[in-house]
Structure 1
Amino acid sequence: MKSRKPLYMLLVFLGLPLVVGQLGGLATQSSVSGWYQTLEKSVLTPPPLVFPFAWTLLYLLMGLAAWLVWRAGGRAPLALWGLQLAVNLAWSFLFFGLRDPELGLANILLLLPLVAATALWFRRWSPIAFWLLLPYLAWTAFAAYLNLTIVLLN
């Protein structure tokens, strides 16, 4: 009988980012319908409904990418993946939890190179994993822009 470990690990790698998303959502809930609505935002800010769908898809892509790297034997890049995931989570608590867009901006400016480095390191282990992280990198860059405009406009 074939080992079920790869399937089990796929569920773990998909689940970890989704848990991060849920935790970030807890921090976001306290501010998104009140404080956040009072802020001046970029005209490019998507409607609020877009964010949970976009992030869910991105978290699933992140998890799949990490699983592919794990399957290819890449253990060291997964430490960087975990670090960027933790920094990703911290943004929600800084921006929404503390209601501090400047701290959020500092955080996301740290997150961007971490995501880029993770994608590049993943490419050595799985070209598909690299491509799976590019939408996350693009969305994070867009989120940095949105965060910056909030800092500048408020």
Structure 2
Amino acid sequence: MKSISKFIISLLSCFGAGAIGGLFTQSSLTTWYAQLVKPELSPPNWVFAPVWNVLYFLMAIALYRLLISEERQDRRLTLALFVVQLLFNIIWSAVFFGLHSPGGGLVVIAMLALAIGATMFWGRRVSKVAALLLVPYLGWVCFAAYLNYQFWRLN
């Protein structure tokens, strides 16, 4: 039973962060964001929801793997870093979409990428599977950082 509750907590934590970030995103997609000059590699808007759903699910599995791990030494630090990266995930949406600030978003997304990398670095000691599950997330965030830079440069 403990295992199921940890999985539910993992799902709620990751998808909850996505939902909070989405509060900032939804109101800007058809207004401010729609008017921006888009970078050449910018995907169509419909791509973002399925990609983020897959990424949040992978993140939830990674968090679950960290929570059930027998490894105690680095688990607390890894879980703290996981929470930090989730917070940066939310903050990026608030800054980029909520404040309409590509420059501020660029700073936050750089910190997000570093936080994901740190989570993976320390997390591999707790669960190699958890660290590997975060690879697509880090890849997408790095791509998003490139797009964020282009938005800042073009607008």
TM band (smaller chain): over 0.9
Match of 1:85 in 2: 86
Correspondent of 2:5 among 5, 8, 25: 8
Task: Work out whether residues 69 and 75 of structure 1, in 8 Å CA contact, stay in contact via their aligned partners in 2.
Answer: no
Match of 2:105 in 1: 104
TM-score scaled by length of structure 2? 0.94
Distance 1:70 1:18 in 2: 17
Distance 1:32 1:11 in 2: 30
Distance 1:22 1:52 in 2: 11
Match of 1:33 in 2: 30
Across the aligned residues of Structure 1 and Structure 2, the Cα RMSD in angstroms comes to 0.9
SS in 2 for 1:25: helix
Task: Work out whether residues 69 and 125 of structure 1, in 8 Å CA contact, stay in contact via their aligned partners in 2.
Answer: yes
Distance 1:76 1:151 in 2: 33
Say if 2:57 is the partner of 1:56.
Answer: no
Distance 1:76 1:92 in 2: 25
TM-score scaled by length of structure 1? 0.95
Distance 1:43 1:152 in 2: 12
Distance 1:130 1:89 in 2: 21
Measure how far apart 1:75 and its partner are.
2.8
Aligned length: 151
